[in-house]
Structure 1
Amino acid sequence: MPRVFVPGRVCLLGEHSDWAGARAARDGPGACVVVGTREGVSARCDVGEGPRFRVVGADGDAFECDVSVDDALEREASSGGYWSYVAGTALEVLRRFPRCRERGLVVETLETTLPTRKGLSSSACVCVLVARCFGVAYELDLELKDEMELAYRGEAVHTPSKCGAMDQACAYGSERVVALTFDGEDVDVRACEVDGEIHIVVCDLAASKSTVRILADLQGAFDRGDEALRSALGARNRALVAEGLDAIKRGDARALGAVYTRAQTTFDEAAIHICPSELTAPRLRETLAAVAHDVPETVFGAKGVGSQGDGAAQFVAVSEAAAKTLRQYLHDFSGGRFKVFDVVLRDEERHARTSTHK
């Protein structure tokens, strides 16, 4: 059986700009920059023996249904339950490629290393995984943009999720830096060049947050015309993303860290009061403050992750050695509760060539 891997993603800059850019032409396009994680979901897949779709989780739990008609997939997707994302994506793929119904698909999850509900696109990861498994098993010749579209529609159209279109950039792979712009229904995706290496330390805060609540509150305020929020997710965000991309292209960690700090302040000033139950985020604030006080020499800047809230934090490390020190500090600070990992921003093709010749 063919094996498939899809990573999570970290939004470096531009949280919430995907749905904002899709909603309001007068505010200009949304913009963000993301990078794939090393952590993700691996699975093996194959066509089945009849019109059935079966997915087995890493813990052995499974979802299975008849796909000769849409009823079962529609019910599961609309339920918003654990299997809703895989059902929604399967539904989207089968409507696009009806020949896949005759024999269905079997997906066996081998390993899951990506934390869930932490702003690391765990739901988009599994949606891309299902789309990719169909593509591999049936030789559909799907391009990355096709996988992203199927995964996005599988989640946004068929489940209760109100996600935007940035999360599916995890399709580009681990440690690939990708810039996206969102102008109405148009999404532009391009891989970014990186000169040198920038080390980002990501920390699962071992707390909880409700992305659904954050999205509902922010989108409601946005649609009611909250000018501060629209500016923060529009023109001010575009300026920050452009500055951050320039720093990434130059390999300038110090400059990127400064952008991180300003981006977090911009978001906080515009958004905390709209969803205080989630965005006050005491665990995030405590962790950022502790790092700034105890090990300031290890970081150039820090901010929240994904929809923000108490899911995860990210830090621009001063160097590879500083990233190691920071990871150990966060482990000790949390008494081992935090899951900490790093992502390296670099030119993957250049890195691969260098590694080959070592």
Structure 2
Amino acid sequence: MRWFVPGRIEVLGKHTDYAGGRSLLAAVDTGHTVTATAREDRVLEVRSEVAHGTVTIDLDAGGARPADQADGHWGGYVRTVADRLEKNFPGRLRGADVTVTSTLPLAAGMSSSSALVVGLALALIDLSGIAADPVFTREITTTEQLGEYLGTAENGQSFGSLAGDRGVGTFGGSEDHTAMLCGRPGALVQYSFCPVRHERTIDVDDSLTFVVAVSGVEAAKTGAARDDYNRVSLAVSSILHRWQEATGRDDASLAEAVSSGPGAVRRLRELAADDDYLVGRLEQFLAESERIIPAAALALEEGDLEEFGRLVDESQAGAEDGLRNQVPETIALPRLARTVGAHAASAFGAGFGGSAWALVPADGAEQFAARWLDAYRAEFPGRADATTAITRPGGAARRLAS
């Protein structure tokens, strides 16, 4: 059996999902194709034509993870999926020969790692009949819940009665998995998280398209880059812990704390005030999730591209000043895109490298992409490996004919 899983563009929603906030998302028309064939034994052999390697897992063997399945290696994502499915549905997982091919750039901010998690999980769940397991049917009844479950597989948290495991070492949320499973062709989807809730769908006019520029700075979530990424997410945990200690409340997310009463935002600001980074992190979340995303979605829906662009500029500034997760290249790309004619542009993804998107007229997108890339390479001559791609919002993950 074969599954296609798209990458995603995080149009807005920078580090909001695991805090219970909002995101404005698009699945794209490129992604991973995962092909799985059952074996007689309980061995998983996964070969990636992108990572140029093979990972072998004996599902009946315990012990420590070998080097090619450790955090920091693509095999760690494979092992994470296998371990979580085996833990939650003991004995159901079948051995398989799996091949992963891709049209998605690696470590470019389009969530190739989460696409691998989703693709492997879908193929193995399908091959092994796990979706018919009574535990699965009790806990996972919607596609949104499946996205949330796969997010917890990656970050190690539990989902309902489905106990968590070690994950891949990053403390992220489920916006990527949700975008991949719930994206709609020709449209953006707005979701809030913890739990996942669909809020609106916004059609993207056929006269518009996205251009993605890959900066050439690898947006890896491993090693030191993982520590930088986790600092952003752990700041939310710190703010929430201070709130819980001070108020005695048990709000499960920052968004839940924000909405708990009329004085909540003021109190949260007081509690974060002694830490400059926490102040910036809180203000970025409040602006992005509570104000910018609802207003930007409305502006795009109404065709007010000038207002949409202004709000996206504000979101980009929040990433630079509040999250502090941008590098010179991903600061420059949105600025240069606006200079050469984009309606809106922003960096996206985990940060610390990766890509930026630009919304432009479809007629002339290729010329825009060339101008944008030329301007970027002129400012960063060492980034000759930077590339661009033109894409429209695509459909969700889907099973392909064998």
**What TM-score results when the alignment is normalised by the length of structure 2?**
0.72
Residue 169 of structure 2 corresponds to: 160
Inter-partner Cα distance in structure 2 for 1:217 and 1:84: 21
Does 1:180 pair with 2:226? no
Residue 355 of structure 2 corresponds to: 312
Residue 122 of structure 2 corresponds to: 132
| Residue pairs, 1:89-238, within 5 angstroms | 89-101=81-93, 103-109=94-100, 111-141=101-131, 144-157=143-156, 158-169=167-178, 170-173=180-183, 175=185, 177-183=188-194, 186-189=195-198, 192-194=201-203, 196-197=205-206, 198-209=208-219, 211=221, 212-222=226-236, 223=238, 225=272, 226-238=278-290
Residue-by-residue CA offset, 1:83-129 (whole Å, 9 max, x unaligned): 1111111221222333433x3222112x2121222221111100000
Are residues 4 and 173 of structure 1, via their aligned partners in 2, closer, same or farther at CA, if it must alter by over 3 Å?
farther
Which amino acid letter does the alignment assign opposite residue 283 of structure 1? E
Are residues 307 and 98 of structure 1, via their aligned partners in 2, closer, same or farther at CA, if it must alter by over 3 Å?
same
Q: Which runs of 5+ in 1 are unaligned?
A: 22-29, 273-277, 350-358
Counterpart of 1:266 (choices 290, 293, 318) is 318
On the 8 A contact 1:202/1:343 being kept in 2, the answer is yes
Partner of 2:351, secondary structure, is coil
Does 1:290 pair with 2:336? yes
Residue 23 of structure 2 corresponds to: 32
Q: Which runs of 5+ in 2 are unaligned?
A: 132-139, 157-166, 240-271, 273-277, 397-402
* Root-mean-square deviation (Å): 2.9
Inter-partner Cα distance in structure 2 for 1:168 and 1:160: 17
Inter-partner Cα distance in structure 2 for 1:146 and 1:134: 17
Which amino acid letter does the alignment assign opposite residue 177 of structure 1? L
Residue 355 of structure 1 corresponds to: none
Are residues 163 and 261 of structure 1, via their aligned partners in 2, closer, same or farther at CA, if it must alter by over 3 Å?
same
**What TM-score results when the alignment is normalised by the length of structure 1?**
0.80
Residue-by-residue CA offset, 1:136-182 (whole Å, 9 max, x unaligned): 22344485335423422221112212222211121235755222212
Does 1:14 pair with 2:16? no
> Deviating runs (4+, > 6 A) in structure 1?
73-76
Residue 255 of structure 1, CA deviation: 3.3
- Between the two proteins, the alignment pairs up a number of residues equal to 325
Residue 370 of structure 2 corresponds to: 328
Inter-partner Cα distance in structure 2 for 1:70 and 1:145: 32
Counterpart of 2:386 (choices 320, 338, 354) is 338
Residue 3 of structure 1, CA deviation: 1.6
Are residues 18 and 289 of structure 1, via their aligned partners in 2, closer, same or farther at CA, if it must alter by over 3 Å?
closer
Which amino acid letter does the alignment assign opposite residue 324 of structure 1? E
On the 8 A contact 1:74/1:88 being kept in 2, the answer is no
Inter-partner Cα distance in structure 2 for 1:35 and 1:282: 25
Are residues 289 and 203 of structure 1, via their aligned partners in 2, closer, same or farther at CA, if it must alter by over 3 Å?
same
Inter-partner Cα distance in structure 2 for 1:260 and 1:63: 41
Residue 58 of structure 1 corresponds to: 49
Inter-partner Cα distance in structure 2 for 1:328 and 1:284: 17
On the 8 A contact 1:124/1:168 being kept in 2, the answer is yes
On the 8 A contact 2:144/2:182 being kept in 1, the answer is no
Residue 35 of structure 1, CA deviation: 0.7
On the 8 A contact 1:90/1:154 being kept in 2, the answer is no
Which amino acid letter does the alignment assign opposite residue 330 of structure 1? W
Residue 241 of structure 1, CA deviation: 0.7
On the 8 A contact 2:171/2:233 being kept in 1, the answer is no
